[in-house]
Amino acid sequence: MRKQFLIEQIRTKKSYLCVGLDTDPALIPPHLLEQEDPIFAFNKAIIDATLEHCVAYKINTAFYESHGLEGWRAMEKTVNYIPTTHFKIADAKRGDIGNTSTQYAKAFLQQLPFDSITIAPYMGEDSVKPFLQFEGKWAIVLGLTSNPGAADFELQDLKTESKRLYELVISKVATWGTTDNLMFVVGATRSDEFINLRKLVPNHFFLVPGVGAQGGSLEEISQKAMNKDVGLLVNVSRDIIYTSKDTDFAQKAGDKALQYATQMRSYL
C-alpha cells in the first residue's frame, strides 16, 4: 500500500485505528472451538465487525506460529480475508544478516500479502535494507517500546553521542529508507517522548501499540505525535477483540472499535 492511499483512508474514515489480531484460542468464545478453524472463525467475525472503524490490522505472528501448520494456515486465511483497503501488518519482529532477512521479506511481503512487517534493527543496516526493496511495502522498525525492558538498552544514555540509544537508532535508520517505506514502532506508554521523537523524524508514520490494556493515552499520543499527514496508526488489540466471550463477541468488538474511532475523530 502506498503512503498516499493510506493517508486517504485515514482522512476518509476519520480514523487511524489499527486492530490487533493477537488471537489466542484460550481467550476466544468457547462456542467457536467447535469450528474447523476456530482462530480464523474468530478473526473473520472480528474483521467483519470492525472493518468500517479502522484502517489497519496487525497480525502478531507468534500467536499463529505457536500452533504449527494449522496456525500458519489460519494466519494466511486471515491476511487474505482482510481487504486491500486496509493496511496489513505482520508483527513478526524479524531481522538477521542480509540473505536471511531477504528470505523473511519474501515470506511476508511476497508469499503472503502483507503490506508491512515489523523489524528489530539490532543487527544494523544490512539486516533492515532487504525489507525496503519491495514496491509499495513497508518496514516498521522498533524504535521505542512500551515494555519495562526498554530501560535495559533503548533508554540508556550514550556518552559518546550525547543521546540515548533509541534516538541514535531512529535517526540512523531513517536514513536507510524514506517516509514512503519506513515506519517506527513507538509504545503508547512513552507519551513523554513523542515530542522529541517528532523532532527526530517529523514526517514518518508511527505504529503505536499499548493503548487500552497497557494503559497508554490516546489523547496524549494524538496531541503530541500527530503530524500534517496524521502519521499515526494506533493499535488496540485485547481491549477490542476480547470485549466479550459470549456469542455477541463480534458486535461488542465493533462497538468498542467505534468508540476508539469516535475519539480519534475528535482529534483530527
The CA distance from 99 to 209, in Å, is: 29
**DSSP class of 163:** E
**DSSP class of 143:** E
Q: Residue 124: left (phi > 0), alpha (psi -120 to 50), or beta? A: left
**Residue spans per domain, the chain:** 3-265
Task: Kindly provide the b/e burial profile for residues 130-143, where b requires at least 16 CB atoms within 10 angstroms of the residue's own CB.
Answer: bbbebeebbbbbbb
Unique residue bearing C-alpha cell 508469499: 111
Q: Which of 3, 14, 93, 224 is catalytic?
A: 93
Q: What is the pLDDT along the chain (268 residues), one digit of tens a residue?
A: 999 999 999 999 999 999 999 999 999 999 999 999 999 999 999 999 999 999 999 999 999 999 999 999 999 999 999 999 999 999 999 989 989 999 999 999 999 999 999 999 998 999 999 999 999 999 999 988 767 677 766 666 777 677 888 898 999 999 999 999 999 999 988 878 899 999 999 999 999 998 876 778 899 999 999 999 999 999 999 999 999 999 999 999 999 999 999 999 999 9
For β-strands 56-60 and 232-236, DSSP reports them as unpaired
What does the chain come to in residues? 268
CB under 8 A, 24+ apart: contacts of 225-228: 225/186, 225/194, 225/197, 225/198, 226/267, 227/198, 227/202, 227/203, 228/203
Q: Tell me whether residue 93 is one of the annotated catalytic residues.
A: yes
CB under 8 A, 24+ apart: contacts of 37-45: 37/70, 37/73, 37/74, 37/77, 39/64, 39/67, 39/71, 39/74, 39/78, 40/74, 40/77, 40/78, 40/81, 42/241, 42/249, 43/74, 43/78, 43/81, 44/78, 44/81, 45/249, 45/250
Q: How many CA atoms lie within 13 A of 242 on its CB side?
A: 16
What pLDDT is stored for residue 149 in this prediction?
75
Decide if 182 contacts 174 (C-beta within 8 A). yes
Q: Is the pTM of this model over 0.85?
A: yes
Q: Is 116 exposed, middle or buried (0-12, 13-18, 19+ CB in 10 A)?
A: buried
Closest CA to 170 of 199, 132, 135, 148: 199
Decide if 120 contacts 94 (C-beta within 8 A). yes
Task: Name 73's bridge partners.
Answer: none
What pLDDT is stored for residue 155 in this prediction?
64
CATH of 3-265, one of 3.40.470.10, 2.40.50.100, 3.50.50.60, 3.20.20.70: 3.20.20.70
